[in-house]
């Protein structure tokens, strides 16, 4: 029996799968139920008014995002333990990319605090007109979108590498590796489109995210229901 097999139990694999599924659910909640409902595209005044009227919902979206990054840690550790005997160099590279992504996304949450601060009643805010405060809040939200995309650039590379490691290993069905690799490519295309051709990116999203949702959802459900073929590590 290999050391990796001894360390990684099916219980841990299933726990990480549950974390993965929660991440997907929390991400959908933040994007659709919070930012999707409160941010009015191109309308800073309406956006600021809606956030001010639903501050608790906006804050819950921030907390949900931070929970996603916390839940990412057990998954990063699991994949590191599983794949280190498949290809140590690629595994370490994917782990590094994933850690950078998590750090970037955590720091990026600060931009979502800005609209709440600007909606406050501090005396220092009298230096700005209402229109300026609304505009600054909207810029901060837009900045969050770019920061989120930049973080996902690193996650895209991690997904492509891990997809390859899944295909090369016997831990999960190869189709899951191909789907995860495709998800990584979609993440990469979406980020590059936003940075290089934002008008085109608007037309591309959310369709390009469908393979991402299917691929990551399939992997998380497989981890929960089937676990991983950790015995294959010893072969």
- Asked if pLDDT for residue 2 goes beyond 50, the answer is no
Backbone angles phi and psi of 222, in degrees to 5: -65, -40
Could you tell me the two tokens for 23? 């991440």
Domains held by the chain: number: 1
For residue 4, the model assigns a pLDDT of: 46
Backbone angles phi and psi of 150, in degrees to 5: -65, -40
Q: For the packed helices 55-83 and 44-53, what is the interaxial angle rounded to 10 degrees? A: 90
Q: What value does the mean pLDDT of the chain take?
A: 92
- Asked if pLDDT for residue 51 goes beyond 60, the answer is yes
Could you tell me the two tokens for 46? 């309406």
Confidence of residue 232 (pLDDT cuts 50, 70, 90): low
C-alpha 60: how far from its chain's center? 16
Backbone angles phi and psi of 171, in degrees to 5: -75, -40
- Asked if pLDDT for residue 38 goes beyond 70, the answer is yes
* Containing structural domain, residue 7: 3-234
Q: Within a 13 Å sphere around the CA of 70, how many CA atoms are in the beta-carbon half?
A: 8
Reduced to 3 states (helix: H, G, I; strand: E, B; else coil), residue 75 is: helix
Confidence of residue 6 (pLDDT cuts 50, 70, 90): very low
Q: Higher confidence at residue 176 or residue 199?
A: 176
% pLDDT > 70, the chain: 95
pTM: 0.90
Reduced to 3 states (helix: H, G, I; strand: E, B; else coil), residue 42 is: coil
For residue 3, the model assigns a pLDDT of: 46
For range 165-176, the mean pLDDT: 95
C-beta separation of 154 from 98 below 8 A: yes
């Amino acid at each position: 029996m290999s050391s990796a097999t001894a360390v990684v139990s099916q219980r841990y694999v299933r726990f990480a799968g549950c974390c993965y599924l929660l991440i997907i659910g929390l991400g959908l909640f933040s994007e659709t139920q919070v930012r999707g409902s409160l941010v009015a595209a191109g309308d800073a005044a309406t956006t600021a008014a809606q956030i001010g009227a639903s501050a608790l919902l906006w804050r819950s979206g921030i907390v949900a995002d931070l929970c996603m990054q916390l839940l990412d840690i057990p998954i990063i550790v699991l994949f590191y333990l599983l794949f280190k005997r498949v290809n140590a160099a690629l595994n370490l590279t994917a782990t590094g990319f994933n850690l950078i992504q998590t750090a970037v996304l955590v720091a990026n949450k600060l931009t979502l605090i800005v609209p709440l601060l600007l909606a406050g009643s501090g005396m220092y805010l009298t230096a700005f007109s209402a229109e300026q405060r609304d505009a600054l809040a909207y810029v901060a939200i837009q900045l969050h979108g770019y920061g989120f995309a930049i973080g996902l650039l690193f996650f895209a590379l991690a997904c492509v590498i891990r997809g390859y490691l899944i295909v090369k290993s016997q831990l999960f069905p190869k189709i899951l590796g191909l789907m995860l690799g495709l998800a990584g490519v979609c993440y990469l295309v979406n980020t590059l489109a936003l940075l290089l051709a934002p008008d085109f990116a608007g037309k591309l999203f959310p369709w390009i995210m469908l393979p991402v949702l299917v691929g990551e959802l399939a992997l998380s459900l497989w981890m929960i229901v089937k676990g991983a073929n950790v015995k294959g590590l010893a072969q």
